[in-house]
Amino acid sequence: MTLISKHFAVIGQPIKHSLSPHIHLLFAKQFELLIDYEKVEVNRETLLNRLDKFKSKKYSGLNVTLPLKHDAYLLCQELSEKSKLCESVNTISIKDNQFHGDTTDGIGLIRDLTKKGINLNQARILLVGAGGAANAVIADLIECSPSELHLTNRTIEKSMVMEAHWKNFAEKNSVSLNISGNHGVDSSNYDVIINATSAGFSSNISPIEDILVNKKTYCYDMTYGMETPFMKQAIKLNATVFDGLGMLIEQAAESFHIWHKEKPETNKIKSELKLLKLI
Ligand SMILES: NC(=O)c1ccc[n+]([C@@H]2O[C@H](COP(=O)([O-])OP(=O)(O)OC[C@H]3O[C@@H](n4cnc5c(N)ncnc54)[C@H](OP(=O)(O)O)[C@@H]3O)[C@@H](O)[C@H]2O)c1
């Protein structure tokens, strides 16, 4: 085994249940890389201070999760084009004493959808939620050329802000971007509904109405580790349902590639996590 003393961590709050260390260690094993990868609870107030500590301790990279992705975007000295567009960073590389920010959430979602056989080209998509996750994946969704992308959110004003932010990008990509309130959404003909809310943690009601789902709808919940009310609703209505574990694994694979320049095999990670009784 090659001895490489590279240190990584995932930071956020809460962080206790993060699977990222396990996933990255399983990837590292594929290339016989010896790395260490911790989870560290960091809040918004202490982010700058903690980043400086990681730098002085010669960490090579950090994954950034809720609620720090936008703050990390503001603090990185260099940013990938996608990070600039999404104003979000989930992967930091620490090089030459500087923080380089990237975002891999969008690519993680698209790769997982593609692996599941879901083609977004010319699809009608409903994206539910207007928080960090929705904003981090929307650029990649638009780049897949759906015919329509509808946005909806509990606080509909946030969908309006989102629409204003993404309007030009959608136009450039010939995608029709609209807001759909829960009431008055035109029909139940969405091909794909993506739940990018955290509603599953706080509510036993799905964030969308039954009328939007039919048996041909692909329902994808970015949340993982539980069967959310949105997933239960989709099962009840005979739709095809997925949780966000595949996205988590694929976004981690892209972070791994940024740091190590290696592309890990992702297909067996879910079963390896099961064997380890982590899921
Ligand atoms: N699989 C992955 O790799 C991956 C990656 C990123 C995120 N995620 C998941 O995506 C989810 C959202 O994360 P985030 O970073 O976007 O969080 P966030 O920035 O806090 O946004 C939360 C979103 O959920 C909505 N929401 C919360 N409670 C709700 C409820 N009871 N009913 C309806 N809507 C509700 C919020 O609506 P309001 O605006 O009205 O408050 C907002 O749109 C989380 O479950 C997270 O774990 C998964």
Is there a single domain that holds both residue 270 and residue 182? no
189: confidence class by pLDDT, cuts 50, 70, 90 = confident
Domain that includes residue 9, residue range = 2-103+247-275
Is there a single domain that holds both residue 12 and residue 64? yes
pLDDT tens digits along 101-123 = 999 999 999 999 999 999 999 99
CB 10 within 8 A of CB 20: yes
Name beta bridge partners: 41.
12
Cα 142 to averaged position of ligand 1 atoms, centre (Å):
20
Mean pLDDT score, 29-52: 97
Give the H/E segment covering residue 152: strand 148-152
Is there a single domain that holds both residue 264 and residue 218? no
Q: Which two tokens stand for residue 165?
A: 């932010």
For position 223, which CATH number holds? 3.40.50.720
**pLDDT score of 275 more than 80:** yes
Is 202 close to ligand 1, i.e. is its CB under 6 Å away? yes
Is there a single domain that holds both residue 9 and residue 49? yes
pLDDT tens digits along 242-261 = 999 999 999 999 999 999 99
Mean pLDDT score, 57-85: 97
Q: What are phi and psi of 200, to 5 degrees?
A: -60, -25
pTM over 0.75: yes
Query: How far is residue 74's CA from residue 72's CA, in Å, rounded to a whole number?
Result: 5
CB 222 within 8 A of CB 195: yes
Which mutation among 15, 154, 230 tests ligand 1's pocket best, with the greatest number of atoms within 8 A of CB? Answer: 154
Cα 196 to averaged position of ligand 1 atoms, centre (Å):
5
- Whole-number pLDDT of residue 5: 79
Q: Look at the chain and report how many structural domains it folds into.
A: 2
For position 17, which CATH number holds? 3.40.50.10860
Q: Which two tokens stand for residue 227?
A: 């069967």
| Closest alpha carbon to 64 in 223, 255, 274 | 255
Is there a single domain that holds both residue 143 and residue 110? yes
Name beta bridge partners: 242.
220
4: confidence class by pLDDT, cuts 50, 70, 90 = low
Is there a single domain that holds both residue 257 and residue 239? no
Is there a single domain that holds both residue 184 and residue 98? no
Cα 247 to averaged position of ligand 1 atoms, centre (Å):
15
Active-site annotation holds for 69? yes
Mean pLDDT score, 139-154: 97
- Whole-number pLDDT of residue 187: 59
Name beta bridge partners: 241.
219
Task: Please pick, among 69, 158, 216, 268, the residue that the annotation labels catalytic.
Answer: 69
Is there a single domain that holds both residue 237 and residue 111? yes
Q: Which two tokens stand for residue 222?
A: 């970015």
CB 101 within 8 A of CB 76: yes
Mean pLDDT score, 37-43: 98
181: confidence class by pLDDT, cuts 50, 70, 90 = low
Q: For residue 210, what is the DSSP state?
A: G
| Closest alpha carbon to 74 in 63, 66, 65, 83 | 83
- Whole-number pLDDT of residue 37: 98
Is there a single domain that holds both residue 29 and residue 92? yes
**pLDDT score of 183 more than 60:** no
